[in-house]
Amino acid sequence: MKNWGFKIAEPRTLDLDKADLKLYSKIVEKVPSARRCLMCGMCSATCSAANHTNFNFRLVHHKLRMGMFESLNSELDKCMLCGKCRMLCPRGVNTRAVIYNMRIVLDNMYYKNI
Amino acid sequence: MENKKSVLIIGAGPAGISAAKSLADDNVNVTVLEKEHSFGGNINNWAKLFPNFKDAAEVKSQLVQNFENNKNIKILYNKKVTELKKHNQKWIANTSDGEVFESNATILSTGFKVFDAKYKEELGYGIYPNVITSVEFERMYKDGKIHTQQGSVPKRIAFLNCVGSRDEKVGNHYCSRICCIAAVKQAIEFKELYPESEAFIFYMDIRMAGQFYEELYRKSQEKHGVVYIRGRISETSSTIDKKVQIKAEDTLAAMPLRMTVDMLVLMVGVEASETTTILSKQNNIDGPYGFAKSIDIHTADNYSNENGLFLAGSCKRPLTLTESIADGKSAAFSVIDYLKQTK
Amino acid sequence: MEEITKKYWKDYQKEIADDNFYYERSCIRQSFFPGSEAAFLKILREILGKNVIDDPNQHTCTGIGYHSDIVPFDTTMTVVARIFSLMKDHGVNNFIPSCVTSFGIFNEVVETWNHFPEEYEKTKHFLKQATGRDFEIPQNISHASDIIYKYRKELKEKMPYRLVNRHTGKPLRVVEHIGCHYSKLFAKKSEGGMEFSKVLVGMIEEWGGEVVDYPERRHCCGFGFRQYIVMANRGYSVANTKKKFESMQPYKPDFIVANCPGCAMFMDRWQYTIAEMEGTTYDDNKMGIPVLTYEEMAGFLLGFNPWDLGLQLHQVQVEPLLDKIGIPYDPKDKYVGKSGNFLGEPEKPENLITVYGK
Amino acid sequence: MGKFYDLLMQDVRFVEGLNACMNCGVCTAICPAAEIYKYDPRQICDIVQSRNEEKIKELLLTDTIWYCGQCMSCKARCPRGNTPGLIISVLRKISQETGLFTNSEKGRQQFAIKRTVGENILNTGYCVHIDIVNPKLHPEQGPVWKWYYENKEEIADRLGANYNKDGSGALRKIPQQNLDEVKKIFEVTGGLDLFNKIEKYSESAAKSMNIYFEKEGINNEYFFQTYMENSGKHEN
């Protein structure tokens, strides 16, 4: 085997042709208010978990919306489900329910893959 | 007819016609010169209007009532004004077919034109199939079917905001104001026709600065599942099966994004119409970007620096239809004031 | 506010000088494609009858060092000034760099001088201090490919061959790759503007070929200066080329042509690397897609001996292409050196096929 | 105003390269580096325009700024006329001048570039020359290159070159007077200073990393460390 000294890097581009956007609709089915999210970031600004971890609910929600599931599972574990974000959301998104249902959907996916 | 004052209005769009009606109601003789063969200006580019989906044709027919059978209003079509100048307290307008019109006061209501998307070559308009402008979308919608060049209904459509606006590459630093809400409206119309298809809107800021705009935006998300992507499209290209490949950044995830859509709609911005620029320059009332400049945007917005030359509507800046109609009326009152003072 | 004239850039024509050139050689083209520079001079002098200075004193513009950040901008500007000063010694005014990076450097430096007159004064001072020299900004800076583009019609008349498949009579399908620093730095320095530069398209279409427009056409080849020079970074470089090849593959191009020597070299070598690392090739015969410099393309159409042009220096073999067009070549002459001796053959890669006809 | 921002502002390329950024992302959209690395030119513009000294310092210390490939595709598209690629150049310059570059793996590579391209410019008058593209350091160049490299004079001269000889032509030996003048330019304009800084900081980095360093050439462990080290955490 030849030693090349490097390997061909894989692109990290978000490819919406390959992304699974259907998974998100499962969340929306359970939590219709999720669709109203503006991505304003008020949730992550007030987040208690974000005070001592790098948890960013706005980003996690967005990633799921765009079909990027990788590592989201462990991200969600940082949330304590305190629900403070829900009290502040200017569009009345039931953020707590979004997380709760994301866990279920992602767990199902995870087990299916085993 | 004893010494009745005459006013010339250049442009029979919403502002011009509203101004004409108000002036005529005050017993002023009004001549309206329109370069096209019909009135309405840019209303003719719309099928339905934001934010209430009112039929554009309906607004047009309401405008007709403003001047139809009104003996004080004379509308002349296919009259393109090429020169406007002041001479002995009178305003003289020359048209391209050699006619001369004289008046005591003139209202410039020469409106706007939409940005020519061919200038943004990276977006592929006029180069690749299935890249269309918002104006073309309206036309298709009016005909009842949104279809690709191949004739099929798009399974995926994307709308791109700020085409020709907020872009120094084409010399336009300003926001055109109407495109954001137009994109929301068109995405909803598309989803209502084809609920199974997907619609994406690429934006930098969603500027919903009008009554019921924000509500419409919310509805587009909640009811129709329109997906909003915060990022400006950098480049399009055509795939082998005539889809449009898009490159943008999903700035909310800080990730480069690539996708193909069956159709890309460019939300073309508002620019000063050619006549606006030419006539403003002739009279030294031209402002930035070739629009006409009023004396003061707050307190004297219908007055130009030239006595007796008034401004109405989107010859000054991008305005909505609502604003243009109101501005036409406002201009009429300024003219009436002026006519009273001059004798 | 700056008045911006709107342009349909596609129709944009820049000014290209027509004679009395100072040819600034390219480090990369000299090393990897010496035959291309020789062919360029031969075309200009012998076919077009132009006066071209080939100055032994010229040297690097430091472009690769500058873009990999080990050379400060002041140094690069002064080195560039020295080259302009050398040109002045020869009494010509039209500068034609062979390299696309250099083309970008020269334009960037001149634009900086125009925008910031104090930088111009500083450079003049530096050059004087270091070398005692004076310089003038050239009247015209065009890339060497611009000259070939400008005279594409005249050259066509001298060409015995066309970019046409002699078996089918159909135009060859050509991928053109514009070096980023030719068009992306300054739109007005690119014939046809930033997006759809015409410099290669003009040659290809004039000489009978058909340009392939594939989605990743405008993407960088991936050189990336430090991203290639340093071994650990080469994964970046090859990944970008790979992306281009994946995108062009469905269009089945007959060959690729580039105006930048770096792009031409990388798009050739990375095909080999990808084939050896992953077993993938992007043509039907596992031989790869030949990548040419524009001088090589012009040269063989003009009837130059392919092995004098240096086509044997490509890792992806060009014989299938030569046969498609009907250009004769002597297989025995391929691996012969200046002395006329046979130099032996390169080793065969494991995956990329280099033996034609098997 | 802070220290680093002031340093940035001293460079005309920064003045030229950054107007107000509106975070639209057209640069990142087509950036070859953003495809491969966790790299986002838009965010870099946003950080420098925020003038947050701490964050700017972090840029100078870490791998991020070294991911850019200087293709300048970003310049072609920016609707505010910015050039993120130029901003990167200035950040890199400051990172080297302050010695912060040796804190990151990609930053340390400047040493390898200086010892190859940098030395080559001064010694031969070429940035890149056939003689330094040794097949051993360039396996990707393939067997044809190896064949060419081993027979370079025979082959290059057949193709019209004038390999390593006096007179004009490709690959000629560049007359000494020119090299002297180029070197003098490097001296006067800060080119040599930068070389010396790269050397000085690299030497102390080598020492603190306990890696064998030599004052010249590429046959030492630190060169190969900077040339070949890839922790694998950069690419996707």
> What's the confidence (pLDDT) of residue C358?
41
| Closest to B10 measured CA to CA, from B27, B37, B30, B25 | B30
Judge if C314 and C171 occupy the same domain: yes
Strands (E) located in chain C = 21-24, 52-53, 94-97, 140-141, 173-177, 210-211, 255-258, 291-293
Domain ranges, residue B135: 117-270
Domain ranges, residue C255: 152-333
How far is residue B175 from each of residues B139, B217, B287, measured CA to CA in Å?
24, 18, 16
Tell me what ipTM this predicted complex has. 0.94
Judge if B227 and B107 occupy the same domain: no
Judge if C80 and C193 occupy the same domain: no
In the structure, what pLDDT confidence band is assigned to residue A2 with cuts at 50, 70 and 90? confident
CB contact under 8 A, B235 and D29: yes
CA atoms of D186 and A72, how far apart (whole Å): 52
> What's the confidence (pLDDT) of residue B1?
44
Number of domains into which chain B is organized: 2
> What's the confidence (pLDDT) of residue B4?
77
- What residue in D sits closest to C232 (Cα-Cα)? D228
Tens digit of each residue's pLDDT, chain D (236 residues) = 579 999 999 999 999 899 899 999 999 999 999 999 999 999 999 999 999 999 999 999 999 999 999 999 999 999 999 999 999 999 999 999 999 999 999 999 999 999 999 999 999 999 999 999 999 999 999 999 999 999 999 999 999 999 999 999 999 999 999 999 999 999 999 999 999 999 999 999 999 999 999 999 999 999 999 999 999 999 87
- Show me where the domains of chain D are located: 3-98, 107-228
CATH of the domain at B177: 3.50.50.60
The answer to whether C267 touches C10, Cβ cutoff 8 Å, is no
The answer to whether D221 touches D215, Cβ cutoff 8 Å, is no
> What's the confidence (pLDDT) of residue A105?
86
CA atoms of D115 and D95, how far apart (whole Å): 18
How many CB atoms neighbour CB B85 within 10 A? Answer: 14
Judge if B106 and B145 occupy the same domain: no
A2 in contact with C at a CB cutoff of 8 Å? Answer: yes
Judge if B170 and B235 occupy the same domain: yes
CA atoms of B227 and B157, how far apart (whole Å): 10
Residue C187 lies in a domain: yes
Judge if B53 and B135 occupy the same domain: no
- Positive or negative CA dihedral for B178, B181, B184, B190? negative
CB pairs under 8 A between C and D: 291
**Of A2, A3, A9, which has the smallest distance from its Cβ to D236's Cβ?**
A9
CA atoms of B131 and C217, how far apart (whole Å): 18
**Min Cα–Cα distance to chain B from D39, Å:** 9
Residue B1 lies in a domain: no
Judge if C205 and C307 occupy the same domain: yes
The answer to whether B289 touches B311, Cβ cutoff 8 Å, is no
Residue C115 lies in a domain: yes
CB contact under 8 A, A12 and D140: no
**Min Cα–Cα distance to chain C from B291, Å:** 14
Judge if C83 and C101 occupy the same domain: yes
Q: Which residues of C touch D102 (CB under 8 A)?
A: none
pLDDT in tens, B158-214: 999 999 999 999 999 999 999 999 999 999 999 999 999 999 999 999 999 999 999
DSSP one-letter code for D141: G
CB contact under 8 A, C339 and D154: yes
Beta strands B100-103; B90-95: pairing state = antiparallel
Residue A92 lies in a domain: yes
Instruction: Please name the chains neighbouring B, where neighbouring means 3+ C-beta pairs under 8 angstroms.
Output: A, C, D
pLDDT in tens, A14-56: 999 999 888 888 999 999 999 999 999 999 999 999 998 999 9
CA atoms of B142 and B186, how far apart (whole Å): 12
pLDDT in tens, C190-249: 999 999 999 999 999 999 999 999 999 999 999 999 999 999 999 999 999 999 999 999
CA atoms of A25 and B105, how far apart (whole Å): 61
Segment 255-294 of chain B within 8 Å of chain C by CB: 288
CB contact under 8 A, B238 and C196: no
Interface with chain B: mutation pick from D16, D18, D26, highest number of B CBs within 10 Å = D26
Interface with chain D: mutation pick from B207, B235, B251, highest number of D CBs within 10 Å = B251
> What's the confidence (pLDDT) of residue A111?
55
Domain ranges, residue A51: 22-113
Last residue of a domain, one of B270, B289, B304: B270
Whether B74 has a pLDDT exceeding 70, the answer reads yes
> What's the confidence (pLDDT) of residue B3?
59
Judge if B142 and B37 occupy the same domain: no
Number of domains into which chain C is organized: 2
B240 in contact with C at a CB cutoff of 8 Å? Answer: yes
The distance of Cα C352 from the centroid of its chain, to the nearest Å, equals 24
How many CB atoms neighbour CB C26 within 10 A? Answer: 30
A112 in contact with B at a CB cutoff of 8 Å? Answer: no
pTM of the model: 0.95
Judge if C116 and C180 occupy the same domain: no
Q: What percent of chain C has pLDDT over 90?
A: 96
> What's the confidence (pLDDT) of residue C145?
98
Whether B2 has a pLDDT exceeding 50, the answer reads no
> What's the confidence (pLDDT) of residue B267?
98
In the structure, what pLDDT confidence band is assigned to residue C9 with cuts at 50, 70 and 90? confident
CATH superfamily of D3-98: Alpha-helical ferredoxin (1.10.1060.10)
Instruction: Please name the chains neighbouring A, where neighbouring means 3+ C-beta pairs under 8 angstroms.
Output: B, C, D
pLDDT in tens, B276-310: 999 999 999 999 999 999 999 999 999 999 999 99
How many CB atoms neighbour CB B210 within 10 A? Answer: 17
**Of B168, B230, B248, which has the smallest distance from its Cβ to D81's Cβ?**
B168
Residue C199 lies in a domain: yes
| Closest to D67 measured CA to CA, from D31, D18, D17 | D31
The answer to whether D57 touches D15, Cβ cutoff 8 Å, is no
Q: Is C23 helix (H, G, I), strand (E, B) or coil?
A: strand
B227 in contact with A at a CB cutoff of 8 Å? Answer: yes
∠ at Cα D212 (D207, D216), nearest 5°? 100
